[in-house]
């Protein structure tokens, strides 16, 4: 019996639809396992700009800082594309405020689902990887300069920044298949040499039981789609992780299936599907809720330490996919809300 405070940030586009699915699933888990989830809904992104002229209002920040975990739908949309204030600033602000430095994106292709992949079935069938992307350093946060004829982007990493994200990867590997692939460009880039040296040292000192390999980012891009089954945990810096995780997201066949967790030094985390606000299908009940429900499963596991409950949610999702109760992106005909209902029914039935 426990009480947990969850802040829900529905955001824009299909964000509110998928966030509602997450809340439904948590309520069912609460009923079945005897936990109380207190939900507090707050503004972020475009809707926050519209209502408060601020993509990340102070009361949203205060609520997120006080919560046990944060569940986010999606932010952004064409409506705000040409405005000086951008919905995405809300996302960067919440990550920064919560000190989230590791972005985890699990990606797996169940053999029964491999036919949905745009890649060859035998290549993807059974692939099961976790990409750990560094979230606060590298090119995206370095100093930038610009003149009429030249521009620079500073790429900076410290040993401490590399170590803390590498720890997340090694710890995750111990709970999975015990292998880490560290991705860099150490043959060319100095930050990559620091990255590799730091990881080798940490591995030797604390994680020698975990298998470690190093890959260069260019060949890694190729291997992700030619032999995805050889990878367990992949750890890499900010920009390489951004690119490789979008590449890996095509493996299962729909972006709507994948969730993510962003974690910091405390147990607190931000959980969101990897897809965006999908304005083309917003308000039509077409959005696949599974990416958000996968994020909820990580929320249960990582922030609330409820592994059994997370397993139950994962099993409910698998059962509904296996039964062919699918949204349109997976070739089905069900509205998103019906898929959510089916998963909730599975959770209650599995009790
Ligand atoms: P962002 O810039 O926020 O990442 P985007 O425009 O790059 O957004 P998405 O919003 O993720 O991308 O949409 C990409 C495509 O995938 C769209 O055609 C959208 O309809 C589809 N899509 C995204 N999420 C889902 C979902 N949950 N269910 C079904 N289709 C989805
Ligand atoms: Mg996108």
Question: What is the DSSP code (8-state) at residue 302?
Answer: I
Residue 133 is predicted with a pLDDT of 96
CA separation, residue 36 to residues 4, 27, 62, 179, 275 (Å)? 6, 8, 21, 36, 28
Tell me which residues of the chain have a pLDDT lower than 50: none
Copy the structure tokens of residue 136.
């606060």
The predicted-structure confidence for 197-251, as pLDDT tens digits, reads as follows 999 999 999 999 999 999 999 999 999 999 999 999 999 999 999 999 989 989 9
Are 157 and 151 within 8 A, CB to CB? Answer: no
Q: Which of 7, 42, 20, 8 is nearest to 287 (CA)?
A: 20
In this prediction, residue 140 carries a pLDDT of 86
The order of strands in the sheet holding 35-41 is 35-41, 2-11, 69-74, 269-273, 259-264, 100-108, 128-134, 233-236, 179-184, 211-216
- Alpha-helical (H) ranges within 34-150 are 46-52, 58-66, 87-97, 121-124
Query: ipTM of this model?
Result: 0.94
Strand partners, 7: 40, 70
- Residue nearest ligand 1's atom 8 by CA: 276
Print the SS3 string covering 325-343.
CCCHHHCCCCCHHHHHHHH
Going by CA atoms, what residue is nearest to atom 25 of ligand 1? Answer: 256
Q: Write out the catalytic residue numbers.
A: 140, 185, 218, 242, 246
Question: Which atom, in ligand 1's list, is nearest to the CA of 279?
Answer: 10
How many angstroms separate the CA atoms of 61 and 215, rounded? Answer: 38
CA of 256 to the centre of ligand 1 (A): 8
Per-residue pLDDT of 12-44, as tens digits, reads 999 999 999 999 999 999 999 999 999 999 999
Whether 76 is in the pocket of ligand 1, judged by its Cβ within 6 Å, is yes
Looking at residue 83, what is its pLDDT?
87
Which numbered ligand comes closest to the C-alpha of 74?
1
Give the per-residue pLDDT at 2: 86
Indicate the SS3 state at residue 225.
helix
**Is 305:5 a contact under the CB 8 Å cutoff?**
no
Assess contact for 91 and 151: CB atoms under 8 A.
no
State residue 21's pLDDT score.
Answer: 98
Q: Looking at residue 351, what is its pLDDT? A: 61
Question: For position 266, what pLDDT does the model report?
Answer: 81
């Amino acid at each position: 019996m426990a009480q947990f405070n969850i802040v829900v940030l529905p955001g824009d586009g299909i964000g509110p639809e998928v966030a509602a699915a997450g809340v439904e699933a948590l309520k069912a888990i609460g009923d079945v396992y005897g936990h109380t989830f207190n939900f507090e809904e707050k503004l972020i992104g475009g809707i926050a700009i519209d209502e408060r002229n601020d993509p990340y209002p102070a009361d949203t920040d205060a609520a997120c800082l006080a919560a046990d975990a944060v569940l986010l739908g999606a932010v952004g949309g064409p409506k705000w594309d040409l405005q000086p204030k951008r919905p995405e600033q809300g996302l960067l602000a919440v990550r920064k405020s919560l000190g989230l430095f590791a972005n985890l994106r699990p990606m797996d292709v169940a053999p029964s689902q491999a036919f949905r992949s745009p890649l060859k079935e035998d290549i993807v069938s059974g692939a099961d990887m976790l990409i750990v992307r560094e979230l606060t350093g590298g090119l995206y946060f370095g100093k930038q300069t610009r003149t009429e004829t030249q521009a620079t982007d500073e790429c900076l990493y410290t040993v401490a920044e590399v170590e803390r994200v590498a720890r997340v990867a090694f710890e995750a590997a111990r709970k999975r298949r015990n292998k880490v692939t560290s991705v860099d460009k150490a043959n060319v880039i100095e930050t990559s040499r620091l990255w590799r040296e730091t990881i080798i040292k940490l591995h030797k000192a604390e994680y020698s039981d975990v298998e470690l390999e190093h890959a260069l980012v260019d060949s890694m891009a190729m291997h992700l789609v030619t032999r995805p089954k050889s990878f367990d945990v992949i750890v890499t810096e900010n920009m390489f992780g951004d690119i490789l995780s979008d590449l890996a997201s095509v493996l299962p066949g729909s972006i709507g299936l994948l969730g993510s967790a962003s974690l910091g030094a405390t147990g607190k985390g931000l959980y969101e599907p990897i897809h965006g606000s999908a304005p083309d299908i917003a308000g039509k009940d077409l959005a696949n809720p599974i990416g958000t429900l996968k994020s909820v499963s990580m929320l249960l596991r990582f922030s609330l330490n409820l592994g059994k409950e997370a397993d139950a949610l994962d099993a409910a999702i698998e059962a509904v996919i296996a039964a062919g109760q699918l949204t349109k992106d997976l070739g089905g005909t069900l509205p998103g809300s019906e898929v959510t209902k089916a998963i909730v029914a599975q959770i209650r039935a599995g009790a």
